Amino acid sequence: MSLSHLGPERKLALAAILGGLAVALSVIRIDVGPTKALPWQHMVNVVAGVTLGPWWASGLALAVGLVRMALGIGTVYSIPGGIPGALLVGLGAVALLRLGRSPLPAGLLEPLGTAVIGFLLALYVFAPLMGDVEAWRSALTVIWLGWLSSTLIGTTLGLAALVALERSGVVRLRPPDSGGAGEG
């Protein structure tokens, strides 16, 4: 099984549904310092990364971030806070599928993408560009803990959603030749 088993129309439809869900739930967020951490974005990153792959998931994270900023319910930090996690999950899913494994564990890469890579991009690239360096320095640990909490909540929800979708037959996460045997 590859992530290309969905045609472009179905991928676009799934991306639109996931993006709409993330934006609609944006009112429930974790405000820390100059950022607005969104667990729903991380949930969507996990689902999109595993089902759509790295490029669709990254593009979706960018689109959701831009829509949130345009609506005034997100900040520029939604870009580094969303894209790296989506990309890592998608790349991990592709790698696991090539190894004949279920892509589900790739969802566990989302916190690495957000709380490490995304956080460092926000701190060292985006904060200086936005003039928020002092705000970040004064609340560095609090901001990081907020991002970590957000990604852990969202990752858990995303993995739970994927398991539920697989059990209900909506998505197939196991390679067809494995039959689920030998998967941990």
Which range has highest mean pLDDT (32-41, 114-123, 127-136)? 114-123
176 band by pLDDT with thresholds 50, 70 and 90: low
Q: Could you tell me where the DSSP H helices lie in the chain?
A: 8-24, 39-52, 54-71, 78-98, 110-111, 119-121, 127-130, 133-138, 140-167
Which pLDDT value is given to residue 55? 97
Average of per-residue pLDDT across 5-12: 85
Could you give the domains of the chain?
3-167 (1.10.1760.20)
Taking the C-alpha atoms of residue 166 and residue 72, their distance in angstroms, rounded to an integer, is 35
For CA atoms 111, 40, 100, 166, the dihedral sign is positive
**pLDDT single digits (tens) 81-116:** 999 999 999 999 999 999 999 999 999 999 999 999
List all residues 6 or more positions away from 162 whose beta carbon is below 8 Å from its beta carbon: 46, 47, 50, 51, 104, 107, 171, 173
Share of the chain above pLDDT 70, in %: 92
For residue 25, give the nearest of 170, 184, 150 by alpha carbon.
Answer: 150
* Buried b / exposed e along 64-85 (16+ C-beta atoms within 10 A): bbebbeeeeebbbbbbbbbbbb
Predicted local distance difference test score (pLDDT) of residue 183? 43
Q: How confident is the model at residue 3 (pLDDT cuts 50, 70, 90)?
A: low
Is 123's pLDDT higher than 60? yes
pLDDT tier at 33, thresholds 50, 70, 90: confident
Any idea which residue has 């494995």 for tokens? 178
Q: Which residue bears the tokens 């490490």?
A: 116
Phi/psi region, residue 71 (left: phi>0; alpha: psi -120 to 50; beta: rest), is alpha
* pLDDT reported for residue 181: 46
Q: Looking at the whole model, is its pTM more than 0.85?
A: yes
For 40-54, what is each residue's pLDDT tens digit? Answer: 999 999 999 999 999
C-beta neighbour count of 175 within 10 angstroms:
19
pLDDT at 12 over 60: yes
pLDDT tier, 137 (very low <50, low <70, confident <90, very high otherwise) = confident
DSSP state, 123?
Answer: I
